[in-house]
Amino acid sequence: MKNIIFFYIGSNNNSYRIQKIKENINNLNNVSFDFVDVDQLSLNTKCIKTMSFMKRNCQNIGYFIGNFYKSIYVIQMFGNDILFPQANTWHLSDKFNAAIFFKKNNIPTPTTALISTHKTLQQTISSVGGFPCIIKRTTGSGGNFVKIVNTENEILDFIQKMGKNITIKSIFPRNISIILQQPIQKSYGTDYRVLCIKNKILGIIKRTAQNNSFKANISLGGKAEIVDNIIEIEKMSKQIMKKSKLFMAGIDFIKNDSSYYAIEINTSPQIKGFEQATNINVTKQIIKALLNE
């Protein structure tokens, strides 16, 4: 039997997620791990020889994706010699694409509008119900590039700062489209993260802000606790996974009175806070599911 190699494509070889993947893979026979540093991609002689070796010696080459935008190049380099469960659905990491997906599949979500020009800005603001509203960059994670705005000047200031955020150190992703979203004020400071692998829900955590912020992300200091039996969320999560054909996702929901709204699909979710709250070995579940592929 030839070896199976799991590739992780990213730019931080020391992250919690990578260390957990290595730890779980080390306990398996005929399975090994390799890291592809997208910040040092070079189509040189060494790279070509490495790909040729893997084609001859590996029955399967699978990887758990770490950076979708840069990894597109790696997918093209390896072609059909690599198993990539999420190759056709990376676009759902874009928040406006996700909003379109929710609408098309009748999944409740806050009204969302794409900012296009200054000329139509007033119309865009009105379409989401006016001020206050939430402004977001269509790419980004960890609660970054998300803010409540109350005036047109605050919107323009946010847009200007997004342009300055593109530097030689953070040139990817180049897409800095910006959206406005209807605020669900009763949800401020609280959201729900559902972690799914294919058609299986690993668990649901409730995240609560600890610093009077309207953002409950764990990376920003939010507290996580496991919750059970939220039937409405579970039903929508299964529908999202089925329709999107995603291999893995962290799906975020907010609550308004007794109803829940889907707000984002995290196609490369962080797992540390989830594992700490639930005691579930997420990376073990990832590897098991990939081997079943």
- The secondary element (H helix, E strand) that includes residue 148 is strand 146-149
Residue 3 confidence (pLDDT) above 50 = yes
CATH fold label, 86-108+186-293? D-amino Acid Aminotransferase; Chain A, domain 1 (3.30.470)
> pTM higher than 0.95, yes or no?
no
Report pLDDT digits (tens) over 21-38.
Answer: 889 998 888 888 877 777
Identify the pLDDT of residue 241: 96
Residue spans of the domains in the chain: they are 3-84, 86-108+186-293, 111-183
d(CA 5, CA 3): 6
Residue 146 confidence (pLDDT) above 90 = yes
Closest CA to 181 of 151, 153, 146, 214: 146
CATH fold label, 111-183? Dna Ligase; domain 1 (3.30.1490)
269 cis-preceded (ω within 30 degrees of 0): no
Identify the pLDDT of residue 180: 98
Per-chain mean pLDDT for the chain: 84
Task: Specify whether the CB–CB gap between 247 and 220 falls below 8 A.
Answer: no
Report pLDDT digits (tens) over 232-268.
Answer: 999 999 999 999 999 999 999 999 988 999 999 998 8
Measure CA 156 to chain center: 26
Mean pLDDT confidence for 87-110: 90
Residue 67 confidence (pLDDT) above 60 = no
